[in-house]
């Protein structure tokens, strides 16, 4: 497997160095592996997220005005550590409190939970929201619960806008919970992914087959099936997601993210099908985003996220944002 | 005079833990590649090596300080769920240890129990979920029972290590209910849990160090 790297050991540090070189408006704490915004935000709630690396641009690409204040980068597919998250909270807290945006993976939950305890011991007010939107995982007390995927981006955007408007921590937290509750995702992989330090694909996926309901760390999916056309796959994703949550009567924010190894032209072809499937179900897509936003290294495939929104959430989605990976004006 | 575990013996325990983890790293990673993400050996080697380096710098002078430093080091270097859980184990042990240079049998029992309870509270896992708790919980239970029966610390810890091994092996047929392995559902059965395996190494290292390091 050819990789454009110096060495697996230095990949994360090298990427952070490149991130700093490319985005001078942001600051990078190399020791703690934190990307943060040093712009003054007196009295405003701060948003801190993070997770294993390998999902770029999530989360570091979403740091900046109107979105995250800091992102903590863990090792590839490994959650960041509590001391790292604490350092991020200390850097960006203005006294108005910090919201942790956490994806539902055991490592992320435990480390953010410890970080929240440490931050509170230092007098920082912390609230946490957990994104668990992957309908491919059966949600039961017998599993670690649903994984967090694409809803994370939509939540970070809207909650970041709310924080920028000066909302209190309690209000930003409630909004975040509302979005987390109303988001559903499901993905499919056409290839596995290769963790550079491992050097071989995380799972074996023969030519001509695909994995439905795959996770973003190379976790296996719901089932292995022969490769489907975009139209066929759109039926499965739309049906599974809309069966799990009632989106009728709500304006929907739709995200179709590539998993890192699928070209944009295929993603748009896929979105055409997804859009038709949603129309057939009388689901109104009010806003949409197509591209590589929540990825899994070099995995080919896509993941569809729908969030049931309302006027307030749409207004927050439309608010200006200026980050490396998401940028628009009024 | 009661049996006591000196701070030197505790340090020896952790050094032994680190070297055993290094020896068995490939096996731990192999177990983890079957039902997880193939990094448990690597992560534990990195963390325990950092613990050895931390202990060598001599910055801790009481059992409480030492165990807390070990916990914070593991938390910040292992990463993932394991870092948080092993870190919590030692932080809770430290919080429930005296500011002295040794632990007597009942103090060690109390600290270990607090460590295991901390892991249970942090990970919300119970015996049978196919986690490190399947090794740790029976180990501490057996230790308490053995001490209550009037057995010596050395023999009691050896019995605890045997219970950890049995608990570790009991995870093989289980379906995982916690952590990344739980996504596999039924497919997680038929493999020993890597966390239970490394936890067993931890208890075995303690048994070996207690054997050598008891001051009478």
pLDDT value for A142: 65
For range A286-305, the mean pLDDT: 97
Residues A106 and A158 in one domain: yes
Strands (DSSP E) found in A208-297: 209-212, 223-226, 251-258, 284-291
Task: Mark whether A150 and A18 lie in a shared domain.
Answer: yes
Residue A131 lies in a domain: yes
Check which CATH number belongs to the domain holding A139 and give it: 3.40.50.10440
**Is A324 inside any structural domain?**
no
- Which residues, 6 or more positions from B65, have their beta carbon under 8 angstroms from its beta carbon? B94, B99
Write down the pLDDT at residue A246: 97
Mean pLDDT for all residues in chain A = 95
Burial class (CB in 10 A: 0-12, 13-18, 19+), A36: buried
- Residues A25, A106, single domain; the answer is yes
pLDDT at A139: 65
Q: Is the distance from CB of A98 to CB of A142 less than 8 angstroms? A: no
Which residues in chain A have their CB less than 8 angstroms from residue B185's CB?
Answer: 138, 143
pLDDT tens for each residue of B165-179 = 999 999 999 999 888
Interface test with A, best of B37, B42, B195 (most A CBs within 10 A): B37
CA distances from A183 to A48, A136, A153, A313 (A): 20, 13, 11, 12
Give percent of chain A above pLDDT 90: 85
Residue A325 resides in a domain? no
> Would you say residue A65 has pLDDT above 80?
yes
**By the 8 A CB rule, do B200 and B164 touch?**
yes
Confidence (pLDDT) at A215 = 84
Are the C-beta atoms of A51 and A103 separated by less than 8 Å? Answer: yes
For chain A, say whether B39 makes contact (Cβ under 8 Å). Answer: yes
- Which of B26, B79, B121, B133 has the most A C-beta neighbours within 10 Å, making it the best mutation to test the interface with A? B79
Residue A222 lies in a domain: yes
Cis before A59 (ω within 30): yes
| Beta-carbon separation of A218 and B185 below 8 A | no
- For B38, nearest residue in chain A (alpha carbons): A198
- Do the Cβ atoms of A105 and B37 come within 8 Å? no
Q: Which fold has domain B4-215?
A: 1.25.40
Q: Please identify, among A158, A181, A204, the residue that sits at the C-terminal boundary of a domain.
A: A181
Residue A33 lies in a domain: yes
For residues B12-22, average pLDDT: 97
Rounded Cα distance between A86 and A123, Å, is 12
The Cα of B79 is separated from the nearest Cα of chain A by a number of Å equal to: 6
Looking at residue B34, what is its pLDDT?
85
Tokens of A223: 């089932």
Reported as a single tens digit per residue, the pLDDT across A130-176 is 999 999 887 655 678 899 999 999 999 999 999 999 999 999 999 99
Nearest to A308 by CA among A266, A267, A259, A249: A249
- Residue A111 to residue B123, Cβ atoms within 8 A: no
Q: Tell whether A108 and A193 lie within a shared domain.
A: no
Domain CATH for A245: 3.30.1180.20
Domain range list for chain B: 4-215
pLDDT value, residue A144: 80
**Closest approach of B128 to chain A, Cα-based (Å):** 11
For B93-112, how does the pLDDT look when each residue is reduced to its tens digit (9 = 90+)?
Answer: 999 999 999 999 999 999 99
Instruction: Give the global pTM.
Output: 0.91
The answer on A286 and A257 residing in a single domain is yes
A191, A147: one domain: no
Domain boundaries, position A49: 11-181
Shared-domain flag, residues A193 and A56: no
Distance between CA B77 and CA B23 in Å, rounded? Answer: 19
pLDDT digits 0-9 by tens, B44-74: 999 999 999 999 988 889 999 999 999 999 9
When pLDDT is cut at 50, 70 and 90, the band that residue A307 belongs to is very high
ipTM over cut 0.90: no
Q: What is the mean pLDDT of residues A248-277?
A: 97
> Are A71 and A155 part of one and the same domain?
yes
> What is the Cβ-side half-sphere exposure of residue A315, based on CA atoms within 13 angstroms?
7
What pLDDT does A174 receive?
98
Is the bond leading into B48 cis (omega within 30 degrees of zero)? Answer: no
Q: For residue A140, what pLDDT is reported?
A: 59
> For B120, left (φ over 0), alpha (ψ -120 to 50), or beta?
alpha
Question: Between B113 and B186, whose confidence is greater?
Answer: B113
Q: What is the pLDDT of residues A19-59, one digit of tens each?
A: 999 999 999 999 999 999 988 888 999 999 999 999 999 99
Confidence class for position A276, pLDDT limits 50, 70, 90? very high
Contact B79 A137 (CB under 8 A): no
A44: closest CA among A23, A21, A28, A67? A67
Residue A327 domain-assigned?
Answer: no
* B148: pLDDT strictly greater than 90: yes
Q: Assess whether A159 and A202 both reside in one domain.
A: no
User: Which chain B residues are Cβ-neighbours of A219 within 8 angstroms?
Assistant: 180, 183
At residue A189, does pLDDT exceed 50?
A: yes
| CB contacts < 8 A (A, B) | 83
Q: Do residue B187 and residue A220 have CB atoms under 8 angstroms apart?
A: yes
| CB nearest to B80's CB, from A79, A83, A220 | A79
Place of tokens 């610390």: B153
Same domain for A160 and A27: yes
pLDDT in tens, B34-46: 888 778 998 999 9
Asked if B182 is an interface residue toward chain A (Cβ–Cβ < 8 A), one would say yes
Chain B residue numbers with beta carbons less than 8 Å from the beta carbon of A220 are 183-184, 187
| Last-in-domain residue among A149, A166, A181 | A181
Q: Is pLDDT at B216 greater than 50 in this prediction?
A: no
pLDDT, residue B3, reads: 82
> Rounded mean pLDDT of B7-15?
95
How many domains would you assign to chain A? 2
- Residue A241 pLDDT greater than 80, yes or no: yes
- pLDDT-based confidence at B1, cuts 50/70/90? very low
3-class SS of residue A284? strand
Are A77 and A219 within one domain? no
């Amino acid at each position: 497997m050819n990789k454009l790297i110096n060495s697996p050991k230095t990949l994360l540090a090298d990427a952070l160095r490149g991130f700093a070189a490319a985005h001078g408006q942001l600051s990078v704490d190399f020791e703690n592996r934190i990307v943060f915004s040093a712009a003054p935000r007196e009295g405003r709630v701060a948003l801190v997220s993070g997770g294993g690396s390998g999902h770029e641009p999530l989360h570091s690409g979403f740091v900046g005005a109107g979105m995250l204040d800091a992102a903590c980068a863990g090792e590839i597919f490994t959650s960041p550590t509590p001391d790292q998250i604490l350092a991020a909270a200390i850097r960006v807290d203005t006294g108005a409190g910090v919201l942790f945006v956490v994806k539902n993976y055991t490592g992320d939950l435990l480390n953010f939970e410890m970080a929240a305890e440490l931050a509170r011991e230092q007098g920082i007010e912390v609230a946490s929201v957990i994104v668990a939107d992957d309908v491919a995982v059966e949600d039961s007390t017998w599993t670690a619960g649903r994984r967090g995927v694409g809803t994370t981006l939509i939540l970070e955007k809207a909650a970041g806008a709310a924080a920028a408007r000066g909302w209190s921590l309690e209000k930003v937290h409630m909004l975040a919970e509302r979005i987390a509750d109303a988001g559903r995702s499901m993905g499919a992989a056409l290839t596995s992914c290769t963790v550079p330090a491992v050097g071989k694909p995380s799972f074996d996926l023969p030519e001509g087959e695909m994995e439905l309901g795959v996770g973003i760390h190379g976790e296996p999916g719901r089932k292995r099936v022969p490769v489907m056309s975009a139209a066929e796959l759109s039926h499965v994703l739309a049906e599974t997601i809309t069966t799990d949550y009632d989106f009728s009567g709500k304006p929907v924010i739709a995200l179709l993210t590539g998993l890192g190894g699928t070209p944009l032209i295929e993603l748009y072809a896929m979105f055409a099908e997804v859009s038709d499937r949603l129309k057939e179900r009388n689901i109104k897509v009010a806003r949409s985003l197509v591209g590589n936003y929540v990825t899994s290294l070099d995995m080919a495939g896509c993941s569809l996220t729908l969030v049931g929104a309302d006027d307030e959430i749409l207004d927050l989605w439309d608010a200006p944002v200026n980050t490396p990976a998401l940028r628009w004006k009024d | 005079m009661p049996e006591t575990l000196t701070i030197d013996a505790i340090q020896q325990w952790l050094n032994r833990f680190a070297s055993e983890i290094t020896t068995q790293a490939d096996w731990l990673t192999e177990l983890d590649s079957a039902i997880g993400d193939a990094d448990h050996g690597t992560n534990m080697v990195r963390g325990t090596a950092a613990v050895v380096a931390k202990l060598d710098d001599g910055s801790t002078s009481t059992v409480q300080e030492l165990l807390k430093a070990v916990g914070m080091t593991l938390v910040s270097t292992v990463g993932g769920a394991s870092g948080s859980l092993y870190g919590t184990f030692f932080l809770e042990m430290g919080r429930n240890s005296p500011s002295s240079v040794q632990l007597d049998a009942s103090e060690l029992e109390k600290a270990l129990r607090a460590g295991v309870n901390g892991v249970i509270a942090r990970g919300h896992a119970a015996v049978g979920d196919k986690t490190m708790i399947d090794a740790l919980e029976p180990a501490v239970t057996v230790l308490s029972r053995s001490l209550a029966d009037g057995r010596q610390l050395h023999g009691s810890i050896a019995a605890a290590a045997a219970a950890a091994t049995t608990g570790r092996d009991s995870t093989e047929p289980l379906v995982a209910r916690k952590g990344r392995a739980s996504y596999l559902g039924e497919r997680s059965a038929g493999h020993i849990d890597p966390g239970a395996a490394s936890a067993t190494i931890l208890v075995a290292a303690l048994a070996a160090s207690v054997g050598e390091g008891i001051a009478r």
